[in-house]
């Protein structure tokens, strides 16, 4: 199942009735966000009012998209569900595992050679389960989704934080962890805390050097990296209508940088134009039929303060181009202030590289506008002072910009054209000399600029701006260059000024592509064999976790009493371990290595009670597992906060940990533990945390009567012969207790499917 006009038709057919039900129950005019959310309730038409920022609500998304790094474990898990096909249309995109070094052709081949086992697995598993597969080089997930799958009023989830990009086509599109994607693929609902709503009213029109990117750079400066947390940002007003659809995508894309759940725009003519230009006139026709439901009610946009939790107003007529950074995307500086700010801040002002592209800014409009600057510079006898790199967002864009001469323009500037993939945006950039860790500055049109993100060098100051401004500043080689007022000296020694950027919202001759890089799933999946080499150290088929025997757990050894902050990054570190995301046993060698041991205040050093010696957390737990001794992890407050990665629950389970007992859980991690068949408990009395000693042997007292709302008691036997019995609480409901009994949620789905 990939692009599915029947699915969109079915979604739109429900709209009038479901929007009416929501309007009746809420008894007020509706925002676009509310229309989309209330139309996608898994229970059907709205029956109750959900409280923003409080209620947990089950939704039924229309689509799923996954990128190659996160899709591995998600699909390995989905294979456990015993389903013949995914329950909703799903696509996989190979874009993260491709390095940028010498240029597209060579880099792509080398990356394929290096990661062929992962790509072959994703290809075969996609083919088997009805999933559309976008090959390495086909493009970056979010650009490909915008071009092919996003549709106004739809809801999608994706295993990547910039899934939110599809808000540019009027979707509620949200980045999730693999476990959530697996649930929806397996036909289960998807839970989200009902978001708060931030309204951004745009008036006026962009002109000259100002681009859609400047809107989100400005918003990031206002909201900061945390200001959007738990909220959906809805853009509206005349200024919104004046933006291209891909420009809207850029703005929504970087909503992730302010922590927003997602962002969106109401359906308008720019979206219709984009749908028609990308071969989806049928979707545009359908959307036109229910247009009034695909945008917020007029009254909401006229009096936004009444209907949104927070309102921001931006006048595009007076908005200045911005450059954000370094090291954080919310440090916003207007271009005309950069000389002063950079001087005060001691940022290196010589620009070494200008990078254009990524999922944020690689549309036809972006490239044509940036290229107009390059063309103007060449015509005026300017040579770039910095190096240039371009990573197009999709093969369709790359093919079209090549046909229209833009690639040639950049090549005349000496630019390297990288593969249509994430490349430098995700640190997949073999930048010459980065290992020397010299202080330097680069400027790019990407979204994130945290330390080390692009080239691994903590001293690289990365600045984020629009593609046209990247072009101008890289040509000048100077962070403080303001193309609106400043001149550059050309090859004849003359002072010249760059002309304002010009470009095309959409290709005047239409999009074109020879091979978009898409592979449809097999018609007959029984003929497809999922390819996993048993000797692989990057991929490993999963074994179902064992069901619970219904008895109390005895003889548990304390693996670690974690002290203080213990995020999913402490439980399953990222960085070099990303390589093993598809191999549960190998990645388990990082389990809890970042957690601090409360007894010695050290990380990755815990007592092996069998030998009395200290070892790493994974080694000690493997030693326990070897003699069938279950482990228990004890934690502090908000245990498992951070990224929703399911590995943080799967790894302890794989290594034989049976229980995680903490003062409090981060909610998503608690749910992930439940899904993986682990017992997640909280202290009824927080002080009991202090009663747990390093040499304890632990057993449950009344787990055999596991029931909803019933506390569980745990006995801690100390090595001096004394013991403490403590009371713990849990939040398992009957359905989740059924997961626990079956060994995991997926085991239960499989059982139900088999019967
Ligand atoms: Fe890829 Fe960077 Fe976007 S990693 S998905 S281009 S944010």
pLDDT tens digits along 592-648: 999 999 999 999 999 999 999 999 999 999 999 999 999 999 999 999 988 778 999
Q: Is the CB of 144 under 6 A from ligand 1?
A: no
Single out the catalytic residue among 18, 68, 93, 95. 95
The 10s digit of each residue's pLDDT in 429-452 is 999 999 999 999 999 999 999 888
- pLDDT for 754 equals 80
Taking each helix axis as running N to C, give the angle between helix 68-78 and helix 104-128, from 0 to 180 degrees, rounded to the nearest 10.
20
Active site residue 431: no
Distance set, CA 173 to CA 75, 157, 181, 280, 572 (Å)? 20, 6, 13, 19, 26
Atom of ligand 1 nearest to the CA of 425: 2
Classify residue 637 by its DSSP letter: T
- Predicted confidence band at 654 (pLDDT cuts at 50, 70, 90)? very high
Task: Check pocket membership of 712 for ligand 1, CB cut-off 6 A.
Answer: no
CA torsion 451-454-458-459 (nearest 10°) is -110
User: pLDDT tens across 567-581, in order?
Assistant: 998 999 877 788 899
Q: What percent of the chain has pLDDT over 70?
A: 100
Q: Residue for token digits 């100002």?
A: 210
CA of 597 to the centre of ligand 1 (A): 35
Residue-wise over 454-485: b if at least 16 C-beta within 10 A, else e?
Answer: bbebeebbbbbbbbbbbbbbbbbbbbbbbbee
pLDDT number for residue 576: 79
Band (pLDDT 50/70/90 cuts) for residue 346 is: very high
Read off the pLDDT of residues 387-422 as tens digits, 9 standing for 90 and up: 999 999 999 999 999 999 999 999 999 999 999 999
- Is pLDDT at 2 greater than 60 in this prediction? no
Residue 358, ligand 1, Cβ within 6 A: yes
Cβ 160 under 6 angstroms from ligand 1: yes
Predicted local confidence at residue 3, as pLDDT:
57
| Each residue's pLDDT tens digit, 705-719 | 999 999 999 999 999
pLDDT, average across residues 659-668: 94
**Active-site position among 63, 93, 448, 538:** 448
Interface ipTM above 0.90: yes
355 lines ligand 1 (CB under 6 A): no
Q: pLDDT class for 28, splitting at 50, 70, 90?
A: very high
Residue nearest to atom 3 of ligand 1 (CA): 359
Structural domains for the chain = 5-315 (3.30.499.10), 322-496 (3.30.499.10), 556-754 (3.20.19.10)
For residues 453-457, give the mean pLDDT.
90
Active site residue 398: no
Indicate the pTM of the whole model: 0.93
Edge to edge, what strands does the sheet with 387-391 contain? 332-334, 322-324, 460-464, 440-444, 351-357, 387-391, 416-417
User: Is 95 among the residues known to form the active site?
Assistant: yes
């Amino acid at each position: 199942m990939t692009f599915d006009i029947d699915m969109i038709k079915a979604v739109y057919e429900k709209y009038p009735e479901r929007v009416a039900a929501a309007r009746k129950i809420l008894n007020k005019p509706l925002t676009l966000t509310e229309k989309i959310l209330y139309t996608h309730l898994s229970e059907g038409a709205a029956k109750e009012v959900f409280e923003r920022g409080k209620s947990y609500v089950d939704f039924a998304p229309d689509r799923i998209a996954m990128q190659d790094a996160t899709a591995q474990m998600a699909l390995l898990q989905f294979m456990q569900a015993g389903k013949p096909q995914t329950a909703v249309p799903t696509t996989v995109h190979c874009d993260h595992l491709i390095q940028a070094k010498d240029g597209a052709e060579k880099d792509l081949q080398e990356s394929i050679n290096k990661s062929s086992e992962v790509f072959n697995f994703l290809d075969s598993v996609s083919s088997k389960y009805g999933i559309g597969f976008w090959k390495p080089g086909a493009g970056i997930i979010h650009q490909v989704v915008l071009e092919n799958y996003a549709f106004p009023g739809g809801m999608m989830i994706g295993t990547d934080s910039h899934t939110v990009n599809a808000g540019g086509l009027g979707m509620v599109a949200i980045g999730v962890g693999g476990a959530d994607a697996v649930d929806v693929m397996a036909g289960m609902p998807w839970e989200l805390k009902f978001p708060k709503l931030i309204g951004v009213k745009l008036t006026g029109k962009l002109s000259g050097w100002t681009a859609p990117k400047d809107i989100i750079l400005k918003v990031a400066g206002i909201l900061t990296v945390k200001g959007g947390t738990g909220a959906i940002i809805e853009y509206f007003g005349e200024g919104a209508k004046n933006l291209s659809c891909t420009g809207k995508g850029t703005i929504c894309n970087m909503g992730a940088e302010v922590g927003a759940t997602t962002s969106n725009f109401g359906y308008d003519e720019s979206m219709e134009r984009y749908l028609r230009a990308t071969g989806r006139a049928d979707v545009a026709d359908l959307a036109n039929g229910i247009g009034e439901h695909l945008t917020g009610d007029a009254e909401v946009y006229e009096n936004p303060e009444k209907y949104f939790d927070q309102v921001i107003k931006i006048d595009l007529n007076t908005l200045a181009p911005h450059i954000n950074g370094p090291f954080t995307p919310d440090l916003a500086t207007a271009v005309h202030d950069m000389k002063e700010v950079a001087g005060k801040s001691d940022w290196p002002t010589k620009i070494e590289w200008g990078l254009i592209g990524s999922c944020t800014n690689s549309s036809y409009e972006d490239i044509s506008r940036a290229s107009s600057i390059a063309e103007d510079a060449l015509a005026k006898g300017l040579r770039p002072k910095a190096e240039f790199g371009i990573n197009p967002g999709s093969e369709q864009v790359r093919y079209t910009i090549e046909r229209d001469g833009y690639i040639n323009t950049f090549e005349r500037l000496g630019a390297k054209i990288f593969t249509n993939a994430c490349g430098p945006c995700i640190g997949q950039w073999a930048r010459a000399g980065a290992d020397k860790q010299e202080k330097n500055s680069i400027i790019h049109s990407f979204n994130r600029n945290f330390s080390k993100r692009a080239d691994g060098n903590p001293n690289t100051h990365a600045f984020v701006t629009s593609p046209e401004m990247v072009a101008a500043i890289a040509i000048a080689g100077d962070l403080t260059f303001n193309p609106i007022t400043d001149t550059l000296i050309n090859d004849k020694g003359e002072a010249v000024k760059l002309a304002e950027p010009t470009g095309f919202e959409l290709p005047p001759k239409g999009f074109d592509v020879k091979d978009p890089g898409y592979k449809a799933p097999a018609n007959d999946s029984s003929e497809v064999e999922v390819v996993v080499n048993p000797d692989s150290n990057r991929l490993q088929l999963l074994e179902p976790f064992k069901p619970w025997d219904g008895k109390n757990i005895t003889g548990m050894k304390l693996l670690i009493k974690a002290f203080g902050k213990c995020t999913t990054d402490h439980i399953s570190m990222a960085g070099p371990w990303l390589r093993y995301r598809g191999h549960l046993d190998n990645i388990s060698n990082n389990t809890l290595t970042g957690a601090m041991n409360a007894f010695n205040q050290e990380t990755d050093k815990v007592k092996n009670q069998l030998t009395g010696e200290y070892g790493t957390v994974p080694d000690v737990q493997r030693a326990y597992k070897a003699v069938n001794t279950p482990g228990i992890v004890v934690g502090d407050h908000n245990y498992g906060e951070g990224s929703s990665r399911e590995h943080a629950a799967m790894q302890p389970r794989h290594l034989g940990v049976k229980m995680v007992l903490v003062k409090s859980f981060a909610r998503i991690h608690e749910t992930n533990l439940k899904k993986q068949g682990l017992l997640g408990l909280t202290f009824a009395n927080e002080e009991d945390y202090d009663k747990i000693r390093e040499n304890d042997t632990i057993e449950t007292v009344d787990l055999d009567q596991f029931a909803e709302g019933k506390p569980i008691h745990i006995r801690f036997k100390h090595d001096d012969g004394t013991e403490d019995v403590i009371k713990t609480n849990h939040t398992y409901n009957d359905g989740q207790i059924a997961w626990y009994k079956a060994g995991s949620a997926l085991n239960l789905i499989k059982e139900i499917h088999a019967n």
